[in-house]
């Protein structure tokens, strides 16, 4: 009898581990905006990272203006996983930020329900390529303004105007180092994507 109960509990644990819904989410944005940090902050498994050390070869190619202390960069993608109660599991794919790696974006974006476009308000121009990418492909996205220390604070409307966004694109303020804040951004993205799908 104890064996039967034990077998049942093992089966129940396995069933609980199978998500009802799995969604692919992209974390995009310019070079050095915090994509790797966000994926690492929320992932329930050890995140896959493809970071390499910046070398002299990137001088004149990568713009380090405003992020001079950056020493590494993602050369392929970041990957993480986050499961919410209720059976929703997100697979997170962080895109590489430098222009020379953009050729990978179409493959990484395939099947994505939506994207977080991280922005650095000190360098908003680095966000335009990501926004254009998702707008052109009709992939829902939210803007998450990463609040870097010492950076001037702007309102959501100011950021929306500067990025020339449609009024229905959510603009959120965040600190991607905070697990709870980053989770909140992911929830906002999924809700936004669902709303658009129901139209």
pLDDT, tens only, 141-185: 999 999 988 888 999 999 999 999 999 999 999 999 999 999 999
- What pTM did the predictor assign? 0.77
Q: Does 92 have pLDDT greater than 90?
A: yes
Q: Which of the pair, 145 or 73, is modelled with greater confidence?
A: 145
137 inside domain: yes
**Contact of 134 with 108, CB cutoff 8 Å:** no
Q: What is the mean pLDDT of the segment spanning 124-132?
A: 92
Question: Confidence band (pLDDT; 50, 70, 90) for 139?
Answer: very high
14 inside domain: no
Q: Does 1 have pLDDT greater than 90?
A: no
Q: Does 67 have pLDDT greater than 50?
A: no
Q: Which of 23-37, 40-54, 85-99, 119-133 has the lowest average pLDDT?
A: 40-54
**Which residues form the domain of 182?**
21-197
123 inside domain: yes
> Tell me, what CATH number does 158's domain have?
3.40.50.300
Please tell me the predicted confidence (pLDDT) of residue 41: 94
Question: Confidence band (pLDDT; 50, 70, 90) for 106?
Answer: confident
12 inside domain: no
Task: Express as a percent the part of the chain with pLDDT over 90.
Answer: 55
**Contact of 76 with 50, CB cutoff 8 Å:** yes
Question: Confidence band (pLDDT; 50, 70, 90) for 49?
Answer: low
Number of domains in the chain: 1
115 inside domain: yes
Q: Which DSSP string do the residues of 133-156 spell out, in sequence order?
A: HHHHHT--EEEEEE--TTPPP--H
Contacts with 170 (C-beta within 8 Å, 6 or more apart), sequence order: 142, 143, 188, 189, 192
114 inside domain: yes
Task: Name the CA radius of gyration of the chain, rounded.
Answer: 19
Q: Does 195 have pLDDT greater than 50?
A: yes
184 inside domain: yes
Contacts with 24 (C-beta within 8 Å, 6 or more apart), sequence order: 90, 91, 93, 111, 112, 113
Helix (H) or strand (E) holding 25: strand 21-29
87 inside domain: yes
Determine the angle formed by the axes of helices 179-197 and 35-42, rounding to 10 degrees. Answer: 100
Q: Which of 72-76, 113-117, 190-194 has the lowest average pLDDT?
A: 72-76
Please tell me the predicted confidence (pLDDT) of residue 50: 58
| Closest C-alpha to 39, from 23, 53, 25 | 25
């Amino acid at each position: 009898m104890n064996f039967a109960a034990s077998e049942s509990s093992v089966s129940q644990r396995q069933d609980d581990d199978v998500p009802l819904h799995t969604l692919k989410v992209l974390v995009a944005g310019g070079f050095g905006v915090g994509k790797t940090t966000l994926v690492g902050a929320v992932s329930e498994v050890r995140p896959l990272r493809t970071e390499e050390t910046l070398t002299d070869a990137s001088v004149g190619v990568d713009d380090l203006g405003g992020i001079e202390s950056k020493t590494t960069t993602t050369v392929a993608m970041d990957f993480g996983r986050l499961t919410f109660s209720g059976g929703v599991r997100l697979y997170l794919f962080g895109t590489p930020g430098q222009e020379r790696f953009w050729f990978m974006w179409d493959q990484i974006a395939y099947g994505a329900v939506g994207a977080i476009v991280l922005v650095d308000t000190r360098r908003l121009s680095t966000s335009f390529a990501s926004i254009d990418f998702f707008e052109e492909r009709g992939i829902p996205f939210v803007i998450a303004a990463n609040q870097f220390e010492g950076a001037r604070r702007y309102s959501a409307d100011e950021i929306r105007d500067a990025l020339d966004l449609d009024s229905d694109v959510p603009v959120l303020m965040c600190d991607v180092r905070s697990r709870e804040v980053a989770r909140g951004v992911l929830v906002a993205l999924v809700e936004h994507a669902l709303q658009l799908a129901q139209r």
